[in-house]
Structure 1
Amino acid sequence: MKKRILNMFTIVAISIAFVSCKDKAAEANTSDAEAAAVAESTSEKYVANVAESTIEWKGFKPTGSHNGTVNIESGVFKTDAGRIKSGTFLIDMKSIVSTDMEEGEYKTSLEEHLKGTVEGKEGDFFNVTKFPTGAFEVTGTKTEDGKTMLSGNLSLKGQKHNITFPVTVSNNGDLMTIESEAFTIDRTKWGINYGSKSVFDNLGDKFINDDMELKIKIVAKKA
């Protein structure tokens, strides 16, 4: 009987692990920074509507997860026949908020820690006083398995790496929407090392996953 119960728990554990792996967003292909794409002079220009554009984020740890948003500060794109040829957008790192908690001391404490506005913990996460702005600059697009793959240099905390992830680009009149699927990046590649068991070996179960999930939505209007 004990063996049957043990086998049952093993099957359940394997099933949970399988579901977790299956549901996890794919990691963006990450490489060294590349030269930014340059559009032709005849390309159409679009300017981001920052009020309707945002980045959703999600961080994971053994006991659960936190999620929230960070605002787009500005953005400009150029297209040819609806295809993105070049572009860049700035990220307002000071706007990081958590959306999974009610207003209160713990929510405020988490947001301040993420921003690095807590004395003595400025470098734990994003250190927005020293690095108030992040950026993404398009380096190219390609079609892969029927999907549009957008590549660009992501700059965070003074470090820049090229990432590639799937997006849907749609046009409605003078409006263009660029919306990514959820994808993950390894935060330690940008020097965001706090709570990483791949960086620190004495954390036990008090670690935070290296994978950080992002989902980007940019709404832009033809200039």
Structure 2
Amino acid sequence: MKKILVPALLAVSLLAAPVYAGNPAAAKAASTQKAADKTYKVQPQLSTLGWVGKKVTGQHDGNVQFKDGSVLVRGNQIVGGTFVVDMNTLKVTDIKDADTNGKLVGHLRSEDFFSIDKNPTSTFKITKVTPLKKADAAGNNATITGDLTIKGITQSITFPAKTGVKGGLASASGTATIDRTKFDIKYGSKSFFEGIGDKAIYDDFSLSFNVVAKQ
């Protein structure tokens, strides 16, 4: 009985051994895949977020500042991230007259638009990053999908971006097109108000970003 039991135990132990024992390359690949993601901290002072809103008779543009955030990096790829925007920093840059500028900023802060007093921050959380096989004409090398929250309403958006990781820095830049009506911002929209003619404001606005994060 003992002669049978010992070989049996030896066979079980061999079967339970790691399958990569005889394959160093496979073992290395598995180790790489299981490597923990590194977290890089967003640098608000080095990052920018600009906006452009268009209407029938023209357009306005400005910027808003990132408050904080983090970027998840695996190897030399950005794989995730969360970003917080301080809506109280919203500015209009195309209007030079102080009174007119202040009136527009006040309107954008109101319930008609971003309701900033009730919603002082907006957030974006990356849910998927898909690398492109070849960069496009604008240099974008990835497609980013994530959850954007404005006025407490969350919607999934997807946009192209240029991403990179080098020397302890992670960066992402690009432009996302947002349908404001999905966030209950309907003021001046032809989709909801008929007969407003040249007072109409287009539903889509754009956000151009350049995010820099440091390890």
TM-score strictly above 0.5: yes
Name the residue aligned to 2:126.
138
2:204 to 202, 211, 214: 211
Structure 1 counterpart of 2:127, which letter? T
Q: Percent identity?
A: 36
In structure 1, which of residues 114, 122, 141 is the aligned counterpart of residue 108 of structure 2? 114
* Deviation of the 1:99 alpha carbon: 0.9
2:7 corresponds in structure 1 to: none
What is the CA–CA distance in structure 2 between the aligned matches of 1:98 and 1:45, rounded to whole Å?
33
Counterpart of 1:29? none
2:117 to 109, 115, 129: 129
Q: Do residues 73 (structure 1) and 67 (structure 2) align?
A: yes
Q: CA RMSD in A?
A: 1.7
Relative contact order, higher structure (CA 8 A, sep 6+): 1
1:183 aligns with 2:171: no
Give how far 1:145 is off. Answer: 6.0
TM-score under structure 2 normalisation?
Answer: 0.78
Give unpaired runs (5+ residues) of structure 1.
1-39, 117-122
Unpaired runs of 5+ residues, structure 2, are 1-33, 135-140
Q: Residues 21-63 of structure 1, C-alpha deviation per residue, up to 9 Å, x if partnerless?
A: xxxxxxxxxxxxxxxxxxx771111001111112110000111
Q: Where does 1:12-161 land on structure 2 (aligned, <5 Å)?
A: 42-116=36-110, 123-144=111-132, 146=134, 147-161=141-155
Q: Tell me which stretches of 4 or more aligned residues in structure 1 moved more than 4 Å.
A: none
Q: How many residues align?
A: 177
> Would you say 1:192 and 2:180 are equivalent positions?
no
